[in-house]
Amino acid sequence: MLAKNTHTKALHWLGKQLFNRKDPAAFFDPLLEQLNPMLVQGHTPARIEQVIQETPDTQTFVLKPAARWAGFKAGQHVNISVEVNGVLRSRTFSLSSSPELWAQHGRVTLTIKRLPGGLVTNWLHDKPSRGAVIGLGEAFGGFLLPQPPRPVLFIAGGSGITPVLSHLETMVTRDFRAPVTLLYFVRTRQDIIAAERLKALESRYSALTLNVIATDESDKPRYLKSQDLKTVPGLKARQVFLCGPKGLMDLANELLHEHGVRKKDTHSTFFSTAAPALSPDLKNQALGGEVQFAKSNLEANSEGDASLLEIAEASGLRPRHGCRMGICHQCSCRKTSGTVINRLTGQASGPGDESIQLCISIPHGPVTISV
């Protein structure tokens, strides 16, 4: 093993000398891609094997990643990258299949809703044909099932069902022995994603209680209410998993708190691509400042809550970036001095040298970054 390791290390070193790049294996990609896109080494390719129309605006993509993909745990998400009009775009989606499907058949699924005006989701729905190849990053995220099994409550809304599908499939195959309840909010019955899979899960898995609630079918919207939680037996002993639109998440957090569910038993995961609103206490702080782009020898001034990525782009720079929402770390770079506020957490950084994500960092006074 050690010999093999030194061997690959030596080869990697040699490759760097010969091809002038940190990822020498990718040197041949432009040619390999022509032969078979699945041979590409620069990123992990995944072939779209099948597309299932779940609802009028949601599709499930069955992917076959290259064998070197490292796998995932139920509830995790991945970055995928696609080229839209010449530009490489990367977005984060939850995996909707179980790790067992990957282990046994080498397949994973992504269930993706078409977002109005969404560049990537619309492209995915309209453009790639079966057999097309997209880039697939390694799985990450901590929206994981409790080990050992404990009672669980899922509250999902709309396409927020995707990581829950992965969880439920996994629970069935691993015979997760604890009560499981799913409160699934959809606009209308037509919008139930993976309706048949859910029905099959309910009949195969006796521990599961499934409660689908349509919000927009009566005159008055029918949102999550206290009564819904009261019907869940042993609520306080449950691990609660939330995934859905912000309104639902806020409401659920509030009601769960009222019912005495502790914060540490509540887990939520990212959901939509909408720019997160700044918390009110952040608004009171003086944001913006003088930004030094050290490598480019440029300076810019910003006021308000523009992110460093936006400031850089407004100054004519084009730093590498991906999701623009703080998930994919493509835009991570060194901040050599100054303080930034993390747009997602509202937390201020330290003043010194550290790695930051440009897309969610707002300058708080003068900042120097190596861009």
C-alpha–C-alpha distance, residues 249 and 268, integer Å: 8
Q: Minimum distance from CB of 37 to other proteins (Å)?
A: 13
Span from 10-18, 125-133, 228-236, 357-365 in contact with other proteins (CB under 8 A): 10-18
In sequence order, what DSSP letters do the residues of 31-78 get, joined into one string? HHHHH-GGG--SS-EEEEEEEEEEETTEEEEEEEE-TT-----TT-EE
C-alpha–C-alpha distance, residues 177 and 180, integer Å: 9
Q: Give the nearer residue to other proteins in terms of CB position, either 312 or 367.
A: 312
Q: Minimum distance from CB of 191 to other proteins (Å)?
A: 33
| Binding residues among 71-110 for other proteins as defined by CB under 8 A | 83, 85-89
Q: Which of 6, 17, 218, 355 binds other proteins (CB under 8 A)?
A: 17
Sign of CA dihedral 52, 85, 76, 187: negative
Query: Judged by CB under 8 A, does residue 294 bind other proteins?
Result: no
The enclosing H or E element of 356 equals strand 354-357
N-terminal to C-terminal alpha carbon distance within the chain? 39
Binding map of other proteins across residues 245-284, x = CB under 8 A, - = no contact:
----------------------------------------
C-alpha–C-alpha distance, residues 55 and 60, integer Å: 10
C-alpha–C-alpha distance, residues 177 and 296, integer Å: 58
Q: Minimum distance from CB of 162 to other proteins (Å)?
A: 25
Q: Which two tokens stand for residue 78?
A: 């991945």
Output the CA–CA distances (angstroms, integers) from residue 240 to 95, 175, 253, 265, 314, in the order listed. 19, 19, 10, 6, 42
Q: Are 255 and 224 within 8 A, CB to CB?
A: yes
Q: Minimum distance from CB of 58 to other proteins (Å)?
A: 27
Query: Judged by CB under 8 A, does residue 5 bind other proteins?
Result: no
The residues, any chain, with a CB within 8 Å of residue 3's CB and separated by 6 or more, are none
Beta bridge partners of 361: 342
Span from 26-34, 124-132, 163-171, 275-283 in contact with other proteins (CB under 8 A): 26-34
Tell me the site size for other proteins, rule CB under 8 A.
29
Query: Judged by CB under 8 A, does residue 12 bind other proteins?
Result: no
Q: Which of 12, 30, 127, 237 binds other proteins (CB under 8 A)?
A: 30
| Binding residues among 302-321 for other proteins as defined by CB under 8 A | 318, 320-321
Q: Give the nearer residue to other proteins in terms of CB position, either 238 or 321.
A: 321
Query: Judged by CB under 8 A, does residue 123 bind other proteins?
Result: no
Output the CA–CA distances (angstroms, integers) from residue 150 to 32, 160, 294, in the order listed. 48, 22, 51
Q: Give the nearer residue to other proteins in terms of CB position, either 172 or 312.
A: 312
Q: Minimum distance from CB of 291 to other proteins (Å)?
A: 17
Query: Judged by CB under 8 A, does residue 56 bind other proteins?
Result: no
Binding site for other proteins (CB under 8 A): 14, 17-18, 20-23, 26-31, 34, 42, 83, 85-89, 295, 297, 318, 320-322, 330, 371
